Amino acid sequence: MSIMEKSRPFPATLPTHKLKSPIIKKESKWRNTLIGIVLPLVILLIWQTLSGLKIISPILFPSPVSIAKEFYDMFLTGELLTHLNISVQRAALGFLLGGSLGLLIGLIVGLKKRAEHIMDPSLQMLRTVPHLAITPLFILWFGFGEVSKVLLIALGAFFPLYVNTFLGVRSVDGKLFDVAKVLEFNRFHQITKLIIPSALPNILLGLRLSLGVAWLGLVVAELMGSSEGIGYMIQDARQFSRTSAVFVGIIIFAVVGKLVDSVVRLLEERLLRWRDSYQG
Amino acid sequence: MGEFVLTIHQLNKTFFTDENRTQALSGINLQVKDNEIITIIGPSGCGKSTLLKIVAGLDLDYDGIVLVGGSQVESPGRDKGFIFQEHRLFPWLTVEKNIAADLDLKDPEVRAKVDRVIELVKLKGFEKSYPKQLSGGMSQRVAIARALIRNPKILLLDEPFGALDAFTRSHLQESLLDIWKENQTTMLLVTHDIDEAIFLANRIVVMDARPGKIKGIIPVELHHPRNRAGVAFMEMRKEVLKVLEYAEETSNSWEI
């Protein structure tokens, strides 16, 4: 370090965080993905063999191949996409409603001690009430329609973002507030240039958790009674003992959930590049 | 009074803790001229950092007169640039964005100013680096640039190089003098390092603890660049030590 300090002027080319060449990095990224695929692949192979040998019941455990065929058929008839479309819409609407409210109230409660005293105790109490316990009430209030479903999802999505945003705002380094004072940040800049960037790791974590809960809430909402959606599709398939269709529904939930999570993680990677933490 | 960048007159500061009251600063008088570097040195607990915080407006609970640029200090602000012991950069911003902070980098005027201070603190080529990629000395230079771009009337430095290793420290002291020569910045620097105090100062303020007060103000008339191993520097060192030791003796007698 001291040698670098001494030798000036500094060279135009500088050491950046990209120590490894991009090609090597890409290769190892592919390798990491491949490693992740090995375990599910092995399980699928064993499953296929077992059901091919009729060791496990094909009615309870249809073989992966027959599930894939069911998937393909449902895709062709358009059944799958219709249900997926409506489910995604419900989850997105509920998440946007609950998540943005959670973010907003989390910010307000984090910024204002008074708001914390007024709202946080009630919110913490509500937070501990399980989804399923509130479902009957929502059905009584709003019926079986879209409103009760979206609100149920919103309710679930609210809390992770609320709790984590609140936590993020409260863990801003107090020493940086002194800097903001010396630089004469106005209140707006204090929030946009100091508090939100500093709370961003927590906010993004809240976002991920909220999306997860929204997806979970969707299943509860659709299983409680509906005529469309992936949840309904599963329920319907169960009644007709179409086990492979039940599996298709479950797989859809898993894949879409994982996709959404990956998008947020990508966002995290881009927005939190500045972080200097242990990378494993 | 008008010609002084900083005027401190009869400054008293008392800390109250439950039933105890500690006189942190007592009867401080100091006037700093334009383009002067004043270093403040003294034993720990002499209130030198407290004094700096008061001048910065970070501590407003005191009695007395503190004028920066002719007006009483009522709040922290850009006219009183402050360098903390740690760099306190925003970790999520690159070097250039840290320097601009709340100013808009897309504004060509701001852009030009940022480029100028980056050149001044010799960080060209590191504009897009994040703080985690910088060494301690480089980070501290970014902090200095962040203060300088706001054209402070006075730059206040609270043991700015205290956390750095000896080589980096002496190099940064030289950098600070370069900045001073080029930018004509008035500085008030708190340190516990006698060599640093002599190397940088036009005048050294020696403080005494319990209560914190000024024991003596020693003018340093050595020419720049100052040779730390030179005879004149050594003489200066003895003089400062004499005043300091006297200061420590009396502070000891306070404890007994």
CA A23 to chain centre: 30
Task: Nearest chain A residue to B169 by CA: give it.
Answer: A2
- Please tell me whether residues B104 and B45 are part of one structural domain: no
Q: How far apart are CA B69 and CA B173, in angstroms?
A: 26
pLDDT-based confidence at residue B255 (cuts at 50, 70, 90): very low
Residue B183 lies in a domain: yes
The answer to whether A187 contacts chain B (CB < 8 Å) is no
SS3 letters across chain A: CHHHHHCCCCCCCCCCCCCCCHHHHHHHHHHHHHHHHHHHHHHHHHHHHHHHCCCCCCCCCCCHHHHHHHHHHHHHHCHHHHHHHHHHHHHHHHHHHHHHHHHHHHHHHHHCHHHHHHHHHHHHHHHCCCHHHHHHHHHHHHCCCHHHHHHHHHHHHHHHHHHHHHHHHHCCCHHHHHHHHHCCCCHHHHHHHHHHHHHHHHHHHHHHHHHHHHHHHHHHHHHCCCCCCHHHHHHHHHHCCCHHHHHHHHHHHHHHHHHHHHHHHHHHHHHCCCCCCCCC
pLDDT for the residue A161: 96
Question: Among B77, B132, B147, whose Cβ lies nearest the Cβ of A276?
Answer: B132
Residue B91: both structure tokens together: 């970790």
Q: Collect all residues of chain B within an 8 Å Cβ-Cβ radius of residue A1.
A: 135-137, 165, 168
pLDDT digits (tens, 9 = 90+) for B166-194: 999 998 999 999 999 998 999 999 999 99
CA B161 to chain centre: 10
The answer to whether B155 and B78 have CB atoms below 8 angstroms apart is no
- Please tell me whether residues B97 and B27 are part of one structural domain: no
Residue window 168-227, chain B: list those with CB within 8 Å of chain A: 168, 171-172
DSSP letter at B132 equals G
Q: What is the β-pairing status of strands B63-68 and B71-72?
A: antiparallel
Q: Last residue of a domain, which of B150, B177, B200?
A: B150
Mean pLDDT of chain B: 91
CATH 1.10.3720.10 for domain A80-271, yes or no, is yes
- Examine the pLDDT at A31 and tell me if it is beyond 70: yes
The answer to whether A196 and A185 have CB atoms below 8 angstroms apart is no
Q: How far apart are CA A180 and CA A175, in angstroms?
A: 9
Q: How far apart are CA B146 and CA B100, in angstroms?
A: 7
Chosen from B60, B92, B99, B126 to mutate, greatest number of chain A CBs within 10 A: B92
- Examine the pLDDT at A8 and tell me if it is beyond 80: no
The answer to whether A188 contacts chain B (CB < 8 Å) is no
pLDDT for the residue B11: 95
Task: Nearest chain B residue to A277 by CA: give it.
Answer: B132
- Please tell me whether residues B142 and B233 are part of one structural domain: no
- Examine the pLDDT at B29 and tell me if it is beyond 70: yes
pLDDT-based confidence at residue A9 (cuts at 50, 70, 90): very low
pLDDT-based confidence at residue A5 (cuts at 50, 70, 90): very low
Angle among Cα B42, B43, B48 to the nearest 5 degrees reads 55
Higher pLDDT, A277 or A97: A97
pLDDT digits (tens, 9 = 90+) for B49-67: 999 999 999 999 999 999 9
The answer to whether A17 contacts chain B (CB < 8 Å) is yes
**CB within 8 Å of B67: residues ≥ 6 apart:** B1, B4, B6, B7, B8, B9, B73
- Please tell me whether residues B97 and B118 are part of one structural domain: yes
Angle among Cα B191, B232, B236 to the nearest 5 degrees reads 35
Question: Among A2, A4, A194, whose Cβ lies nearest the Cβ of B165?
Answer: A2
Residue B238 lies in a domain: yes
Residue B47 lies in a domain: yes
Mean per-residue pLDDT, B12-24 = 87
Do A182 and B76 make contact, defined as CB atoms within 8 angstroms? yes
pLDDT for the residue B202: 95
- Please tell me whether residues B144 and B173 are part of one structural domain: no
- Please tell me whether residues B228 and B166 are part of one structural domain: yes
CA A75 to chain centre: 25
Residue B183: both structure tokens together: 């930018």
Residue B96 lies in a domain: yes
The answer to whether A132 and A223 have CB atoms below 8 angstroms apart is no
Where are chain A's structural domains? Answer: 80-271
The Cα-based distances of A259 to A201, A215, A252 in angstroms read 20, 12, 10
pLDDT-based confidence at residue B210 (cuts at 50, 70, 90): confident
Query: Which amino acid type is present at position A73?
Result: D
pLDDT-based confidence at residue A279 (cuts at 50, 70, 90): low
Residue B129 C-alpha, separation from nearest chain A C-alpha, in angstroms: 7
The answer to whether B112 and B71 have CB atoms below 8 angstroms apart is no
Residue B157 lies in a domain: yes
- Examine the pLDDT at A17 and tell me if it is beyond 60: no
Do A2 and B171 make contact, defined as CB atoms within 8 angstroms? yes
Do A6 and B167 make contact, defined as CB atoms within 8 angstroms? yes
Residue B84 lies in a domain: no
Residue B95: both structure tokens together: 């070097």
- Examine the pLDDT at B250 and tell me if it is beyond 70: no
Name the residue among A194, A189, A150 with its Cα closest to residue A169.
Answer: A194
- Report residue B14: phi and psi, to 5°: -125, 135
- Please tell me whether residues B139 and B165 are part of one structural domain: no
> CATH no. for residue B52?
3.40.50.300
Q: Last residue of a domain, which of B150, B178, B195?
A: B150
- Please tell me whether residues B141 and B208 are part of one structural domain: no
Q: Collect all residues of chain B within an 8 Å Cβ-Cβ radius of residue A186.
A: 102
pLDDT-based confidence at residue B200 (cuts at 50, 70, 90): very high
Q: Collect all residues of chain A within an 8 Å Cβ-Cβ radius of residue B102.
A: 183-186, 189, 193
Q: Count of CB atoms within 10 A of residue A223's CB?
A: 15
Q: Collect all residues of chain B within an 8 Å Cβ-Cβ radius of residue A274.
A: 91-93, 130-132
Residue B76 C-alpha, separation from nearest chain A C-alpha, in angstroms: 5
Name the residue among B53, B166, B165, B185 with its Cα closest to residue B117.
Answer: B185
pLDDT digits (tens, 9 = 90+) for A237-272: 999 989 999 999 999 999 999 899 999 999 999 999
Do A178 and B58 make contact, defined as CB atoms within 8 angstroms? yes
Q: How many domains does chain B have?
A: 2
Q: Last residue of a domain, which of B112, B128, B150?
A: B150
- Please tell me whether residues B250 and B177 are part of one structural domain: yes
pLDDT for the residue A24: 55
Predicted complex: ipTM over 0.90: no
End-to-end CA distance of chain B: 40
pLDDT for the residue B31: 95
Name the residue among A118, A117, A128, A201 with its Cα closest to residue A165.
Answer: A201
- Examine the pLDDT at A194 and tell me if it is beyond 60: yes
pLDDT digits (tens, 9 = 90+) for B104-155: 999 999 999 999 999 999 899 999 999 999 999 999 999 999 999 999 999 9
Q: How far apart are CA A192 and CA A59, in angstroms?
A: 57
Question: Among B86, B132, B135, whose Cβ lies nearest the Cβ of A5?
Answer: B135
CA-CA-CA-CA torsion sign (B33, B25, B56, B75) = negative
Question: Among B76, B124, B168, whose Cβ lies nearest the Cβ of A10?
Answer: B124
Range of the domain at B123: 89-150
pLDDT digits (tens, 9 = 90+) for A36-60: 889 989 999 999 999 888 888 888 8
Residue A239: both structure tokens together: 């009644």
Do A10 and B168 make contact, defined as CB atoms within 8 angstroms? no
Name the residue among A133, A132, A143, A138 with its Cα closest to residue A217.
Answer: A132
- Examine the pLDDT at A25 and tell me if it is beyond 80: no
- Please tell me whether residues B141 and B181 are part of one structural domain: no
What proportion of chain B, given as a percentage, has pLDDT over 70? 95
- Report residue A198: phi and psi, to 5°: -70, -35
Mean per-residue pLDDT, B28-48 = 93
Query: Which amino acid type is present at position A107?
Result: L
B96 in helix, strand or coil? helix
pLDDT for the residue A58: 82
pLDDT-based confidence at residue A4 (cuts at 50, 70, 90): very low
The answer to whether A260 and A211 have CB atoms below 8 angstroms apart is yes
- Please tell me whether residues B20 and B139 are part of one structural domain: no
Mean per-residue pLDDT, B67-90 = 94
pLDDT digits (tens, 9 = 90+) for A112-163: 999 999 999 999 999 998 878 888 888 899 988 899 999 999 999 999 999 9
pLDDT-based confidence at residue A280 (cuts at 50, 70, 90): low
pLDDT for the residue A27: 67
Structural Rg of chain B based on CA atoms:
19
- Please tell me whether residues B165 and B222 are part of one structural domain: yes
Residue B109 lies in a domain: yes
- Examine the pLDDT at A10 and tell me if it is beyond 60: no
Do A274 and B132 make contact, defined as CB atoms within 8 angstroms? yes
